[in-house]
Amino acid sequence: MRILLQDQAVLDHVAERGPAIIGRAVDWAAVNSGSRNAAGLARMLDLLEAAASPLGADVARLPTAGSTSVGDDGRVREEAHADALRISARPNAPVQVILTGHYDTVFPADSAFQTVATRPDGALNGPGVADMKGGISVMLAALEAFETHPDRDRVGWTVLLSPDEEIGSPASAPLLAELGARGHIGMTYEPALADGTLAGARKGSGNYHLIVGGKAAHAGRAFHEGANAVAGAAIIAARLHALNGQREGVTVNVAKISGGGALNVVADNAVVRFNVRVPDAQASAWISEAVREIAAEPPFPGLTLDLHGGMTRPPKPMDAGQTALFDAVRETGALLGQTIAWKPSGGVCEGNNLHAAGLPNVDTLGVLGGDIHSDQEFAWPASFVGRAQLSALILCKIASGEIDAPKLKSLRLETM
- Residue 416: pLDDT over 80: no
CA R_g for the chain: 23
Q: What is the mean pLDDT of residues 231-247?
A: 98
The Cα–Cα gap between 127 and 242 comes to: 36
pLDDT digits (tens, 9 = 90+) for 69-116: 999 999 999 999 999 999 999 999 999 999 999 999 999 999 999 999
Quick one: how far is CA 49 from the chain centroid?
21
Q: What is the mean pLDDT of residues 267-295?
A: 97
Q: Quick one: pLDDT at residue 122?
A: 97
Q: What is the mean pLDDT of residues 18-25?
A: 98
DSSP label at 82?
P
The residues pairing with 210 across neighbouring beta strands, listed in sequence order, are: 272, 307
Q: How many CB atoms lie within 10 A of CB 298?
A: 18
* Residue whose C-alpha is closest to residue 68's, from 86, 53, 80, 59: 80
The Cα–Cα gap between 43 and 40 comes to: 5
Residue 214 has, within 13 A of its CA and on its CB side, a CA count of: 27
Q: Quick one: pLDDT at residue 350?
A: 97
Q: Give helix 281-295 / helix 229-241 axis angle, nearest 10°.
A: 150
Q: Quick one: pLDDT at residue 207?
A: 96
DSSP 135-204: HHHHHHHHHHHHTTSTTGGGEEEEEEEES-GGGT-TTTHHHHHHHHHH-SEEEEBPPBPTT-PEEEEE-E
The Cα–Cα gap between 386 and 338 comes to: 8
Q: How many CB atoms lie within 10 A of CB 225?
A: 12
More confident residue, 411 or 59: 59
The residues pairing with 256 across neighbouring beta strands, listed in sequence order, are: 273
Q: What is the mean pLDDT of residues 56-70?
A: 94
Q: What is the mean pLDDT of residues 49-59?
A: 96
Q: Determine whether 330 is exposed, middle or buried from the number of CB atoms within 10 Å of its CB (0-12, 13-18, 19+).
A: middle
Q: Quick one: pLDDT at residue 201?
A: 94
Q: Quick one: pLDDT at residue 414?
A: 83
Domains annotated for the chain, with CATH where assigned, are 5-201+316-414 (3.40.630.10), 204-313 (3.30.70.360)
- Tell me what percent of the residues of the chain surpass a pLDDT of 90: 96
- Residue 66: pLDDT over 90: no
Contact between 265 and 217 (Cβ < 8 Å): yes
Q: Quick one: pLDDT at residue 399?
A: 98
- CA–CA distances in Å: residue 123 to residues 129, 135, 367: 10, 15, 12
Residue 140 binned pLDDT confidence (cut-offs 50, 70, 90) = very high
The Cα–Cα gap between 137 and 117 comes to: 18
Q: Quick one: pLDDT at residue 14?
A: 98
Q: Quick one: pLDDT at residue 11?
A: 98
Q: Quick one: pLDDT at residue 1?
A: 86
Amino acid of residue 308: H
Quick one: how far is CA 119 from the chain centroid?
27
Q: Residue 278: which H helix or E strand, with range?
A: strand 269-278
The Cα–Cα gap between 160 and 58 comes to: 12
Q: What is the mean pLDDT of residues 273-278?
A: 98
Contact between 95 and 13 (Cβ < 8 Å): no
pLDDT digits (tens, 9 = 90+) for 329-349: 999 999 999 999 999 998 899
Q: Quick one: pLDDT at residue 151?
A: 97
Q: What is the mean pLDDT of residues 164-179?
A: 95
Residues in the chain: 416
Quick one: how far is CA 382 from the chain centroid?
24
Extended strands (E) in 80-126: 84-89, 95-102, 117-118, 124-125
* Residue whose C-alpha is closest to residue 412's, from 370, 355, 373, 374: 355
Residue 411 binned pLDDT confidence (cut-offs 50, 70, 90) = confident
β-bridge pairing 198-202 and 342-345: parallel
Q: What is the mean pLDDT of residues 39-46?
A: 98
Quick one: how far is CA 25 from the chain centroid?
18
* Residue whose C-alpha is closest to residue 148's, from 3, 24, 329, 14: 14
Q: How many CB atoms lie within 10 A of CB 96?
A: 23
